[in-house]
Structure 1
Amino acid sequence: MISVVGMGGIGKTTLAKKVYENDSVKGNFDCRVWITVSQSDNMQKILMAMTKQIHQAKKLAPGEIDMMDEITLNSQLRQYFEQEKYVVVFDDVWKLQFWEIVKHALPCNDRGSRIIITARSERVGACCKESSSDRDRVHKLQPLSQEKAWELFCRKAFQCEFQRRCPRELVRLSLDIVRKCEGLPLAIVAIGGLLSTKEKVPLEWQKLYDGLSSELESNPQLTSITKILSLSYQDLPYYLKSCFLYFGLFPEDYSITDSRLFRLWIAEGFIKGNEGKQLEEVAEEYLMELHRNLVQVSFGELDYQVRRKYRIHDLLHETILSKAGELNFCQVWQADDSSVNGKSWCLLIHDARENVLETIEYSRVRSIFLLSITAIPRSFLVNLFKKFKLLKVLDFEDAPIDYLPEEVGNLFLLKHLSLRNTKVKMLPKSMGRLQN
């Protein structure tokens, strides 16, 4: 057991990923599994994801994995791992009791297997120790030293010029900026990526540094890290801001495929056509700009299928939600939530009780997403289509619905309707009235 612990953004996942993907590690184990846990308490889903990864890696028949209960999954995994030298990574573990539950699927088979856990809490790391010997280690990551922080900053800020070295006239300003990042790799990468797009002249960098300093002074209750990330958003060109805020629509640690993202951005009107280019090509350029600074490629998410997916760091997710709330860009409807006013552009619904829609105003909502819902009454769908007449985007991906009501044909502005991974078998005839 190896636990890697430290604050958010300090590089736990990056370090574990570097080890997991190392060629000598790959060659040393019969089986490798990576699971992003986050704040999920759905152990059955986690065990299912482990089972699917194994079946996919070994090219085994998938069987009826989706129908298995927690006990069956536990038994199958234990039986499989008993004969293998395995390495399993559980990334971003939050709950103290996590290891006590999952360890039953992971036998100690004396074949040299390894289990790595990353967590923000040292208590979580300590709870995952099976013995007091050196076999089980808790590795606490520290902020980068000034020397390493400077090296990382230069690699990001001057990635395409000056041989990744800081010009003499920018050294003083750059050192001040690096000190503000307090050795946190996430902040250094974000601010360095932002500066890589700037003209390399002292006046331009001084303006950015002055903005950063005033932000810190005017909001002392916020951490400098959050403000650095917020500044990265503020400095985005206008056409990227809405695209970036869109990542706040999805739950923390949620990964989204690039193709789905492109379709949504285009339907929302965020992508402006360039002469000689398809809208999808422009959307891809936008995503690459964000990937340079703020958005990361997903790795080992619970969705085991191999597709190009993107996500944002937890700290950036908090920054986006704060900004999206200020701008009435999006709101999330949870069970028993009384704070939703319906004045946002996008609405995420996590609770599909029949009376939910009665409490929301509908003046501005143009996009609706149903996420993490276990059951949806038919009356809920009918009310949704009756009351939200100006919708442009309806995303039901993975939602537990098996039909669409006739009222869908009244949504004349609708540009995007996703029914992927639902149980809808037939579309109503009224769909023929939709023109967009």
Structure 2
Amino acid sequence: MPQSEENSCKLFFRRVFSSEDCPKHLTEAASVILKKCGGLPLAIISIAGLLSNKNPTVEVWTKIKNSISSMVEKDSPVDKMKRILFLSYFDLPQYLKTCLLYLSVFPEDSNIDPRRLIRLWVAEGLILGQSRACTEQSGESYLHELINRSMIQPSKIGADGRVKICRIHDVILDFIVSQAEEENFVTILNNSDPSDYTSNKFRRLSLQSGFSEGSKMPKASKDLSHLRSLHMFKHESLPVVPSEFAKCQVLRVLAIKLRLGDNYIKHVGHFCELKYLRIKGGIHKLPEEIGKLQHLQTLDLAYTRIEKLPASIVQLQKLVHLLIPFGVPLPDEIGNLQALEVLSGIDLDRASVKSIYGLEVGGVGGLEILASLPILQSLTLDTNSDVSNLRWVISGQGFQNLRKFNFEIRDSVVGLMFEPGAMPKLQRLKLWLYARWQLDVHGGPVVGLHHLSALKSIALVFNCNGAVAAEVESSEDNARAAAVSHPNCPTLDIQRYNERRMKTSQTNSKRRLITKQIIDSACKL
């Protein structure tokens, strides 16, 4: 819906100048530019995003004004929007153009994880850098540039100020898709028969919906030797026979959804250039041939039914991100993966192999193998131990580069202790705690929080199932006291889970002592 002139000015100036005032020397140019936007919020935001990255001079603004002066009054709102998007797009440096076009692989209304997006950019070689770490840092910079230019919208921002989820406006996505297909950058098969497409060289395929029964790739395009990436967003069969799929010799990105019984993944050993592999669906095992993927950087199996990892996985010397379903045992030689930076889905109770359980349960020497991974930066663990008052101890040795630690304590009386010198570079800590067991852990659920010398943010999720309101509220007060008393005063984000399952009244005398006990445990943090 078009904005009034007053609201258009406020929206425009806030985006460009972070205030509602416009410098006098730019007033005339701003008036013409806003008139051309016709009150369309997306047009205003887009052109404001472009100008916010320019020097605020009359010469620069006049040039932008002249660029959109070709618009005539009879232009429809859609045509005006397209012209402004063209202007914004062609103003982008080349490295941002390719990263923006890559977003066309995602279906409309997708919630996009920035971490996943950056890993895809890196795998595709869209970000240049002397080292992999530098490319990921550049990827974050590229993402923020596109957000500042209003080409990408952040839809969820964490307490630490980091973008958690981003989206693309439908109009901008339509524009990106049009440009990507025109430049043969991405081919999108969406709710249509593949035989309708005549291109004989697919570089990147995005399969966004199902296909008619028996449909196959057109004959001219059965040679998939040029295919660099394949994205599949539905649990449908690929419109190509498995033997043809095996010919994708230069495939770098494979992100697919599979049904139980699909045979496509058995050819994974042929994709010697593969850098990114993400599988969702009903598969239960991976072939041992996965060990041949010596360039693989990301292996994401978090949403599969994998029960055991192939032993050959420890041969993936360039593997940086490993995400697995909770409860899947790690191979005994996990310590061989010296390039690992992100490890997620580790269940300390069921993943009982030498890689984890060469440790003293609840003792000081726990998690030695994982702690020794030299550049591990992100770790996600959970526990549901039936050993009462078990405490996992993070010593001052190991985890020397860890920046992010997620730890989920399920329905069990389990605690966590950080010793002096523990995780010296940890900045973000997220804990999932069972509220009704907080008082039953001797000394409190978390001890030694003040030993985390680099801590910047804490996120706590309290599972309220079976707890009374006073327990949950006091646990939250305990957390606030611990954050305030920490030398760094980290930000604190508290969420409740299963709040509807809270009990409405206290059930025994022990619970009536909750406030005193919680305060006592807070003093020990």
Question: Is the structural similarity TM-score above 0.5?
Answer: yes
1:336 is aligned to 2:336: no
Which amino acid is 1:395 matched to?
Answer: A
Mapping of residues 348-427 of structure 1, within 5 Å: 348-349=206-207, 350-351=209-210, 355-359=215-219, 361=221, 362=224, 364-372=226-234, 374-376=235-237, 380=240, 382-396=242-256, 398-400=257-259, 404-419=264-279, 421-427=280-286
Which amino acid is 1:154 matched to?
Answer: F
How far residue 164 of structure 1 moved from its aligned partner, in angstroms, is: 5.0
Which amino acid is 2:197 matched to?
Answer: S
Q: Which has the higher helix share?
A: 1
Question: Number of residue pairs matched?
Answer: 280
Corresponding residue of 1:225: 81
Which amino acid is 2:287 matched to?
Answer: P
Mapping of residues 278-289 of structure 1, within 5 Å: 278-289=134-145
The whole-number CA distance in structure 2 between the counterparts of 1:185 and 1:329 is 29
Corresponding residue of 2:152: 295
The whole-number CA distance in structure 2 between the counterparts of 1:348 and 1:375 is 13
How far residue 265 of structure 1 moved from its aligned partner, in angstroms, is: 0.7
Higher RCO (CA 8 Å, separation ≥ 6 residues): 1
Q: 1:375 to 1:193 in 2, by over 3 A?
A: closer
Which amino acid is 1:366 matched to?
Answer: R
Which amino acid is 1:295 matched to?
Answer: I
SS at match of 1:310: strand
Corresponding residue of 1:154: 13
How far residue 186 of structure 1 moved from its aligned partner, in angstroms, is: 1.2
1:79-117 deviation line (CA, Å, top 9, x unaligned): xxxxxxxxxxxxxxxxxxxxxxxxxxxxxxxxxxxxxxx
**Is contact 1:342-1:365 (8 Å) kept?**
no
SS at match of 1:315: helix
Alignment RMSD (CA, Å):
2.8
How far residue 262 of structure 1 moved from its aligned partner, in angstroms, is: 1.2
1:102-155 deviation line (CA, Å, top 9, x unaligned): xxxxxxxxxxxxxxxxxxxxxxxxxxxxxxxxxxxxxxxxx2111211121111
Corresponding residue of 2:204: 346
**Is contact 1:345-1:367 (8 Å) kept?**
yes
How far residue 177 of structure 1 moved from its aligned partner, in angstroms, is: 0.6
The match for 1:428 among 272, 287, 295 is 287
**Is contact 2:124-2:253 (8 Å) kept?**
yes
> Sequence identity of aligned pairs in percent?
35
State TM-score, norm by structure 1: 0.58
Which amino acid is 1:315 matched to?
Answer: V
Q: 1:167 to 1:332 in 2, by over 3 A?
A: same
The whole-number CA distance in structure 1 between the counterparts of 2:65 and 2:169 is 23
1:359-385 deviation line (CA, Å, top 9, x unaligned): 35235421111122x4327x9461353
**Is contact 1:348-1:370 (8 Å) kept?**
yes
Corresponding residue of 1:197: 53
The whole-number CA distance in structure 2 between the counterparts of 1:414 and 1:290 is 27
The whole-number CA distance in structure 1 between the counterparts of 2:132 and 2:233 is 36
Q: Which has the higher strand share?
A: 2
The whole-number CA distance in structure 2 between the counterparts of 1:181 and 1:203 is 20
The match for 1:238 among 66, 73, 94 is 94
The whole-number CA distance in structure 2 between the counterparts of 1:154 and 1:167 is 10
**Is contact 1:328-1:345 (8 Å) kept?**
yes
Q: 1:389 to 1:220 in 2, by over 3 A?
A: farther
Q: 1:330 to 1:412 in 2, by over 3 A?
A: same
How far residue 320 of structure 1 moved from its aligned partner, in angstroms, is: 0.6
**Is contact 2:181-2:187 (8 Å) kept?**
yes
1:267 is aligned to 2:126: no
Q: 1:262 to 1:389 in 2, by over 3 A?
A: same
The whole-number CA distance in structure 2 between the counterparts of 1:250 and 1:188 is 25
The whole-number CA distance in structure 1 between the counterparts of 2:260 and 2:252 is 20
The whole-number CA distance in structure 2 between the counterparts of 1:257 and 1:189 is 23
Mapping of residues 32-181 of structure 1, within 5 Å: 143-159=2-18, 165-181=21-37
**Is contact 2:225-2:247 (8 Å) kept?**
no
The whole-number CA distance in structure 2 between the counterparts of 1:416 and 1:356 is 25
The whole-number CA distance in structure 2 between the counterparts of 1:253 and 1:290 is 18
Which amino acid is 1:149 matched to?
Answer: S
Instruction: Please tell me whether Structure 1 or Structure 2 has the larger radius of gyration of its CA atoms.
Output: 2
